[in-house]
Structure 1
């Protein structure tokens, strides 16, 4: 557990007047909320991959699932919901951090209520990516279909609350997109289809183009506060250490450099695009540097293990290979990773607390 006091100065404009708000924030690893007093976020909307998928894959014929024990063992009632972790995901902590609600539900959850739609849902699908081929290979929901689901969501909102209120919710919500990791790790570096045509720079450039197009698509539908996650340090994910990190399971430099190159191009294009979209805030949430800091300095964040997951022996298990027969670590709150690919609830909590102050400054 970590605790930090610090102060944030928010600068914002209303009419012809500029205002400054000084807010003190106490973070104690529990997803603190610290929006400026004059700001409210009606809903959180998520697109992308397993970092934001709370169970949309459950009814798919795919191996990319997590709707069975021990996944969800620390969630409400110890229930496996399809979240790729032991408890809450990044999406859940974002929903709480922006003062919306405790949990971000899956749009395809059959038990979802109309009231859930008013405060946001996730369309994300574990295994998805910017590259349409990535979703095809994993047999999951591509971003293009997630966009169509969002259009249906908007129609449902209009029926529920009327045209004007629906427009208000869409315009003032915060949108998150998490993709890119699967494009490199389960597509580019495994299958030859893209590598025969693109080097790493060319493939990264293509992915960035897909990302920019996607931002513009949701902008056309009314989104005005958009956050795009960068890729994490791909070479330090436990399963990649195992596969390509040698006898000592070191971080794979080649994968980390690919992530850094992609993130650099993504950041540059986001800054350029943000200046072209009227009355819109577009920000990049850095997954790379905060996770590197946690991996290299675990004790600073109350963790002990960052090179393997809690499930099984933690170096290769994920999805169906992490199951009710798998042995678990004694204390998952000391682990950054739950399985060999996805962070624990504690890891998500720490990460969101690290990035949320900068996100708020970028969005409001």
Structure 2
């Protein structure tokens, strides 16, 4: 039972509400929104994505298996939040499972990832969440809805696209308008306003994920002649993490009843990349799914070849970690924050003791 929540279901106006997650993010958390954005160039709808998940068919996740948010949710008794654009989303589904608004290519800034044509930036995701709130208020009433949204868990996990698909690319004006420090300041100003908006909409228990060593993703290594990590890109990730951590601390102190946390797994991911064998991995510098000598092939495509043992690779494609790496990151965050199970079996309706079936 989660000591922070006091109870597992909220009984108001006949609504036995469960504790669910609302997830805002990019391709590291997308569970299928971009699949329904027909013009989006950021897609995970091809084989071999999803090969180790459910029926092994592409499901919109940009990895071979689960996302970090999937695994944290499974291990703490939270249901898997379905994609906002998924055809089965109804008020009842939202009340049972929450919603995932994450979109591949999305960023904290509206302009990030523009060349993907269609993607939800964080402002758009928050706007969609406001629409979700209206639906739930109409369904269960103002007071019960207020309680439901205040009891929910929130994840905000964006930022890497703001660097990799914006600031670090000369085609974007942000790359010459700012320097490293002023760009991070601009991100923090934007993120602060967004987190305050979420708080005003009821978000009380919220976790912002930090960035990993982005300069070590295979896509960045290919840019260097020696194949080593891009030092400047990693320094930007560390700068972002330090600034975000400070921002979260000040918001938690300022905002009423806010329990905002910063989920930083930079060091552990960096250690995995530097010493893969210590963690049971064999490869931490190239993607499991690759297009032979043609590098970088931006996504994993049906003509790509897969590594022999997917569990031994830290990276699934040029950008994204494998299921095994995501599991390691999720477990590190669970350990760091001492997360406890939320929808415990002492509630009116027993939560599954094992992870929910991967269909959702």
TM > 0.5: yes
Q: Shift of residue 198 of structure 1?
A: 0.6
Task: Tell me which of 182, 185, 188 is aligned to 1:202.
Answer: 182
Q: How does 1:183-262 map to 2 (within 5 A)?
A: 183-191=162-170, 192-243=172-223, 245-247=224-226, 249-262=227-240
Question: In the alignment, is residue 54 of structure 1 matched against residue 54 of structure 2?
Answer: no
Deviation at 1:202, TM superposition (A): 0.3
Structure 2 partner of 1:171? 150
Provide the rounded CA distance (Å) in 2 between the counterparts of 1:246 and 1:207: 30
Name stretches of at least 5 consecutive residues in structure 1 with no aligned partner.
1-33
Match of 2:206, SS? strand
Partners of 2:140 and 2:280 in 1: CA distance: 44
With 297-306 and 230-239 compared, the bigger mean Cα shift is at: 297-306
User: How far has the Cα of 1:84 moved from its partner?
Assistant: 0.3
Checking the alignment, whether the CA contact within 8 Å between 1:47 and 1:177 is kept in structure 2 is yes
* 1:296 is aligned to 2:274: yes
Instruction: Write the distance in 2 (CA, Å) between the matches of 1:310 and 1:116.
Output: 35
Question: SS state of the match for residue 165, structure 1?
Answer: helix
| CA distance in 2: counterparts of 1:177 and 1:137, whole angstroms | 23
Contact 1:285–1:355 (8 Å) recurs in 2: yes
SS at match of 2:306: coil
Matching residue of 1:142: 121
The equivalent of 2:44 in structure 1 is 66
* Match of residue 89, structure 2, among 99, 112, 115: 112
User: Partner of 1:331 in structure 2?
Assistant: 309
Checking the alignment, whether the CA contact within 8 Å between 1:137 and 1:187 is kept in structure 2 is no
Contact 1:35 1:98 in 2 (8 A): no
In structure 1, which of residues 330, 354, 358 is the aligned counterpart of residue 332 of structure 2? 354
> Equivalents in 1 of 2:62, 2:93: separation in Å?
21
1:167 is displaced (CA, Å) by 1.8
Shift of 1:333: 0.8
Q: Does 1:126 align with 2:126?
A: no
Cα distance in 2 for residues equivalent to 1:35 and 1:64 = 37
Aligned 8 A contact 1:215 1:226 in 2:
no
8 Å contact from structure 2 (residues 263, 333) kept in 1: yes
CA RMSD of superposed structures (Å):
2.2
Could you tell me how far apart the structure 2 residues matched to 1:112 and 1:86 are? 24
Structure 2 match to 1:285 = 263
TM-score (norm 2): 0.85
Contact 1:181 1:231 (C-alpha < 8 Å) held by counterparts? yes
Structure 2 Cα separation of the partners of residues 96 and 36 of structure 1: 18
Q: With a CA cutoff of 8 Å and minimum separation of 6, indicate the structure with the bigger relative contact order.
A: 2
- Aligned residue number for residue 296 of structure 2: 316
Specify which structure has the higher proportion of strand.
Answer: 1
Corresponding residue SS for 1:279: coil
**C-alpha distance in 1 between matches for 2:261 and 2:196:** 13
TM-score (norm 1): 0.84
1:165 deviation in Å?
2.7
- In structure 1, C-alpha distance between the alignment counterparts of 2:138 and 2:145, rounded to whole Å: 9
Residues 46-83 of structure 1: CA distance to partner in whole angstroms, max 9, x if unpaired?
Answer: 11211111011112212101012110111111121111
SS of 2:240 mapped into structure 1: helix
